[in-house]
Structures are given as structure tokens and as C-alpha cells.
Amino acid sequence: MTLVGVNAARDDPGRVPRPAVGYPFGGVIRFSPAQRAALSQAQQESVAACMAARGLRYEIPPPLPAVPEPDNPYGLLDEDEARNSGYSLSLHQGQDSQPKDLLKSVPATQRGRWKQALFGTTAHRKAVPLPGGGEIVFNTDGCVQRARTHLYGARWDLLQYTFQALSLQVTTAVERSGPVRAAHRQWAACMKGSGIRASTPQQSRAMVADELKRPAAGAPHRKEVARFELRVATQDARCQRTSALAPAIADAAAREERRILRTRADELHLLNNLKSAALSRIKGELP
């Protein structure tokens, strides 16, 4: 489906572009759709080899559709992209994103052994404490974990989970900061003036996602939702500009990241190196 802006006259061509705001810490724990697909395939092949070495068959599942993700966690939009593609939700409606149930192809008598070989045993369980509390637990002797270690390096999981938690700290602090909350109030008032009730850009995006999930038949409903998506996203982006939401978020995010990196800079450097090394291993598989 191609989305084309509906009744969306261009705003002032001399408008100031929004600041570039991405995921925390330069998106160190994120990958492009092509990178995710190549890394997943490499990991699956490593898992299959590990299972074969243990005398078990592992059927590599078909790849899931490569669905683009937002380029930031705050719901910030580029006005031209919003006008032409909305939130890019309707573009990918109907793609099957459910992973295959691999256990179905395993004989019932082998399933216990197969699962232990794949996911490991509690005798080799490792707990990773997370910044801010809590922990992630996984087994180190399973083929899945061994494949991850082979592909990403021995310290990847510890650092990845750490920076997932730290990234959440950043986004939470940003959303709670005074200037961002004030900008959100201006944004919400701007949206309300167009008949759209939402408190944050994430809520306006969720409105469209909910419409896409609503049971309805045929192309007319899809076109109706696509038009709704374009209208909401276009107004969302306009209101972000008039409320100066992006600059407020950029400032708050930069402050919080600087605070965290006073004690985490070395870990971030190592994580970036591990990411680069993993990508170099699958370079030949990238388009």
C-alpha cells in the first residue's frame, strides 16, 4: 500500500529542521532491519551447528518480515515523512510477525532433551544485575547462548542488558523533565485543536495502531485507516514543531546521558567495539 498525503499543504519551507534525536547512547544496542536479519541468520546457523554436535536436529526458522522501527523512542516525527507515510503502520499491516513453533517438529520423546540442549540447564544459570535494580537470568550452556557468545562476544549480554536498562533510565528521565512535560502540554493542546485527543506522540501513534487492530473486512477499511493515519501523523508532526518538543527532548536526553556516562563511558566504548565486531562477521551477508 502506498500512502500519499491527504489535504496536507506544505508549511513554511523555511522552517528549522528538528534536532536529530535518536535512541540513547547512539543506538548502540540497536541494528537496522538488514543488520538484524543477517545477525539472526548467523545466530540461527550457529545454533543449528551446536545442536547437530549434540546429536539433535534444529530446523532454522524462516526469517520474519523486516519491519522498520521508529528512529527514536520519543515519537518524534519528520514532517515530510509524516505527510507521506504517516507512522508507516499501514504500510506493514498484515505482515506475519509470529515466530514459528520449532518444538512441533521435534518428536515428543526428545522434547525434554531438545529444550535443554537449546536453552541450557539451571545448573549453569547466570544472573546479570541491572542498573536501578532487578536482574536478567539465562543459562550459559544452551546452544542459543553459545551461539550468541560466538557471534557477539562473551561480554555482549552483560553490557547489552546493562545499556538496555540505562536507556530506559534516559527515556524515563526525559519524559519526566520539566521542559519536556511543558512541551507535551503545548503539543496536546495543538492536537486537541484539530480534534485529536492525546497526551503524547506515543499515544497518537497508539490510536492508529488500535484502529489497525480493529476487526474489519476488505480494502475500504484499510484505506480509511491509512487516511486517518496520515491525518493524525501530519498534525502530530506539526504540533511537535510548534511546541518545540524535539529541542526540549534533545536537551534533556543529552543531560541525562552525560550524567550516566560519567561512570559508564568505558563500558559504552567496549559495547560499541563488540557491536562493530559482530557486524564485521556478517558483512558479506549485508545488502
> Do 132 and 164 meet the contact criterion of CB atoms below 8 Å apart?
no
CA–CA dist 48, 59 (Å, integer): 7
- The model's pLDDT over 147-203, given as tens digits with 9 standing for 90+, comes to 999 999 999 999 999 999 999 999 999 999 999 999 999 999 999 999 999 999 999
- The model's pLDDT over 253-276, given as tens digits with 9 standing for 90+, comes to 999 999 999 999 999 999 999 999
pTM confidence score: 0.86
Residue 154 makes CB contacts below 8 A (sequence gap 6+) with none
> Do 242 and 186 meet the contact criterion of CB atoms below 8 Å apart?
yes
Place of cell 541450557: 120
Is 100 a residue whose pLDDT tops 70? no
Is 144 a residue whose pLDDT tops 80? yes
Q: List the beta bridge partners of residue 187.
A: none
Confidence of residue 9 (pLDDT cuts 50, 70, 90): very low
Amino acid of residue 262:
R
Identify which of 211, 266, 259, 201 has the alpha carbon closest to the alpha carbon of residue 235.
201
Among 16-20, 51-55, 61-65, 149-153, the least confident range: 16-20
260: which 3 cell numbers? 550516566
> Do 31 and 39 meet the contact criterion of CB atoms below 8 Å apart?
yes
